[in-house]
Structure formats: structure tokens, C-alpha cells
Amino acid sequence: MKIDQKTGILGGGQLGKMLALAAGKWHLPLWALDADANFPAAPYVPRFVEGDFKNKEDVLAFGREVDVLTIEIEHVNIEALHQLEAEGKRIHPRPGALEIIKDKGRQKQFFADHGFPTAPFTVFEDEKALLRAVEAGEVAFPFVQKTTTAGYDGRGVSIIRSVEDLETRLLEGTCLAEELAPIDKELAVIAARNERGELAAFPAVEMVFNPDANLVELLLCPAQISPAVEAAAENLAKAVIEAFDLCGLLAVELFLTQTGEIWVNEVAPRPHNSGHHTIEACVTSQFEQHLRGVLNWPLGSTELVRPAAMVNLLGAEGYEGAPVFEGLEECLRTPGVYVHNYGKTTTKPFRKMGHVTVVGESVQEVLHKAHWVKDHLRVIAAS
């Protein structure tokens, strides 16, 4: 087993940074490719290559210099990855699977073809074709429209409930329309796999919504679900990563329906926002596990050591500029509160600037502390 395999990440954002921090323990040479050497991962990797991960030549040149190639973002040049794979490069996630996952229409079709439960859907060439289908009565209100490419953080998703919504909320381009799921809870399970076929799944995480704003307020682990649902969710995530034949991580977003079914919403073949708490709350962090998976090392224990909650730190409304963490001192004074600053040079409203993980003895305690953090920590800008 070689501990010094040169590992390249396409992307140098916060996920790249946290991968680099995990790699540091092993002194693993982890390189990153991204547009700007001011990006979050740059200070933590021995080599940060400035370039465009959407550009074929940049990805080819970067990939040829490393032993193993991975990603922290899906929107990378896939042609270059296929070529590197043909040249014998080890790439995880494998390009064929990444190509399917990058396209939400193909991703949904993959679930359907493999018998994984998912919200019923139809793919349309563009929004005009979707409109025609609505007019013809083939798609009924309410439905969820999703663009097939380049959506993230909910930006490529629109819930259409009426004819008025069709006029104001319809998104342009190739899209799919899916039935509105009767959601009881939104869950996520991060599965891991290596080239030997070893499988592991982290305990399910539950998104806790703010009932007024209908926005995710925090993520909670363990999810407040029965042991049977927990086991089913973990097994489903493992089955999906196997079906895609992936190594490294696969984050599987799930809907627990009001009738107790578990549907796959979407997947991401990389570390995921829903696994940040694993750094402080699990035996192995998702970042370490991803590296173990892509390097074909033994997978680590996914055991949850203590209950945890995670709060995303978004730029406060009304502020733009160099970030200031207001309330930091009180947070640092509080045991079990872990503040992560992504080191982005500018804050903007709703931009992900960091996150806070809270751990404690009980679910009640971490919920209480996480709400306290939400009330006391804000990312504003220097005036």
C-alpha cells in the first residue's frame, strides 16, 4: 500500500479544502485544479493549479500529472476524463457514471431502470415542450420542474402549482417534470465504496426545516426515524452506489414519504453538505472516507460517536464584502461548537461562507445548541 499516491481534485472550493485537511494526516500529496489561487483549498494543498476544470486541455494536463483523479464538483469536462481513463488513469467517480449523474434526466432514468423508487417523472427537450404537455393534460398540477444540467442549491428547481406559476416560475431549457412527493422527512445517506467492493454507509441525516420560511434550518444526525427506516435508507444508498459502480463517496438524497416509503431524490458522487458533521461526530469523516474509497484503501468505521447538528453559515442579507464572523467569540467559548470558515474572500447574501457543527450528549441538546448558534453567529461584511 503506497501512502504517497499523488491525488488530484478537480475543484478547489470548501469540499476540496476539507479533503485536503483529511489528506494532511497521511501527508498525502493532494493537488487541486480551480480558477483562482484565492479559493478555499489553496492554502491546504501542496500544489494548487490555476485552470478551468470545464476546459478539456486543463483537465488533461492536470490529470496526467497525478496518480489518481477525483472531483469535488460534478460540472467538470467529461471528455477529458474519458480520454484520461482510456490512457489508463485511475479516476473516481468513473467518468461513465459521472456523465449520467451530471444530467438529472439521465440520473432519474438510471433510478427507474434499476428499480430504485423515485418520484415519477418525464423528460422534456425544453420548457415549451413541457408547456404543451401540461396543456394536453399529460402533466398535472402540482409538479416539480428541474433543469437537467447545472442546477445546484435548489437553483434549477421550481415547484409549479398553477397556470400563474407556469407564467412566472417556469425555468428555461431541457428539463424534467416530476410528481410532487408526499414528503414526511428529507434524509440523506452517504455511502462509500472502494475498488475491492467494500461498502459502508454513514448514519442517515435529517434536514430540519424552518416551518415559517420552509428553508432547511439545520441537519441532524441521528435522523429521528425508526431503526427499520434507518436500515432501509442505508441499504438503499449502498445499493445505489453499487449500481453506479462507483468508488469514493455517493451522497444519496432521500424522501421519506408519508406512507413510509423511501424514494431517491438525487445523488452526488463526492463529499456532500449533509456529511460535514462527520468530521467531529463520526469515527471517520466523509472526507477521509472519500480518500480511502478512491485510493482503494480499507474503508473506515462510519459509526456516529455522538449526536450532532450542522448549520450552514450563509452570508447575511444586506452585506457584501470582506467577511466578518459576528458572534464568533461566544461560539468558541461554547464546548462542542465547531466553527468552520471556508476562507472565501467576499461574502454575499446567501453565499455559503462556512458551517458550524454542534455535538452533544443528546439530540435535544444539539438541537438547542444549534438554534443558539443560528441566533448568535452571523457572517456580515466589514464596513
Q: Residues in the site for ligand ATP, rule: CB under 6 A?
A: 119, 144, 146, 151-157, 178, 180-181, 183, 186, 253, 265-266
Distance in Å, CB of 219 to ligand ATP, minimum: 12
Measured CA to CA, the distance from residue 279 to residue 104 in angstroms comes to: 29
- One character per residue 197-236, x = contact with Mg ion (rule: CB under 5 A): ----------------------------------------
Residue nearest to Mg ion (CB): 253
Q: Which DSSP helix (H) or strand (E) runs through 112?
A: helix 104-113
Cell 455517493 belongs to 250
- Residues that bind Mg ion (rule: CB under 5 A) add up to a total of 1
Which residue, 49, 50, 78, is CA-closest to 66? Answer: 49
Maximum pairwise Cα distance, the chain: 61
Which listed option, ligand ATP, Mg ion, none, makes contact with residue 231 (CB within 5 to 8 Å by class)? none
Specify the stretch interacting with Mg ion by CB under 5 A; choose among 23-31, 91-99, 252-260, 290-298: 252-260
Distance in Å, CB of 120 to ligand ATP, minimum: 9
User: Which of 32, 119 has the CB closer to ligand ATP?
Assistant: 119
Residue nearest to ligand ATP (CB): 181
Which listed option, ligand ATP, Mg ion, none, makes contact with residue 144 (CB within 5 to 8 Å by class)? ligand ATP
Distance in Å, CB of 104 to Mg ion, minimum: 10
> C-alpha grid cell for residue 56?
478539456
CA 292 and chain centroid, separation: 18
In residues, how long is the chain? 383
Q: Where are the alpha helices (DSSP H) in 35-94?
A: 56-64, 78-86
Beta strands in 161-301 (DSSP E): 175-179, 183-193, 199-201, 205-210, 215-221, 248-257, 262-268
User: Which of 257, 296 has the CB closer to ligand ATP?
Assistant: 257
Which residue, 238, 251, 249, 241, is CA-closest to 291? Answer: 249
User: Which of 43, 154 has the CB closer to ligand ATP?
Assistant: 154
Question: 156 and 150 in contact (C-beta within 8 Å)?
Answer: yes
Which listed option, ligand ATP, Mg ion, none, makes contact with residue 183 (CB within 5 to 8 Å by class)? ligand ATP
The dihedral built from the CA positions of residue 338, 370, 256 and 181, taken in this order, carries a sign that is negative
Secondary structure class of 122 (helix, strand, coil): strand
User: Which of 5, 147 has the CB closer to ligand ATP?
Assistant: 147
User: Which of 263, 297 has the CB closer to ligand ATP?
Assistant: 263
Distance in Å, CB of 265 to ligand ATP, minimum: 5
38: DSSP letter: T
Residues forming contacts to Mg ion in the complex (CB under 5 A) are 253
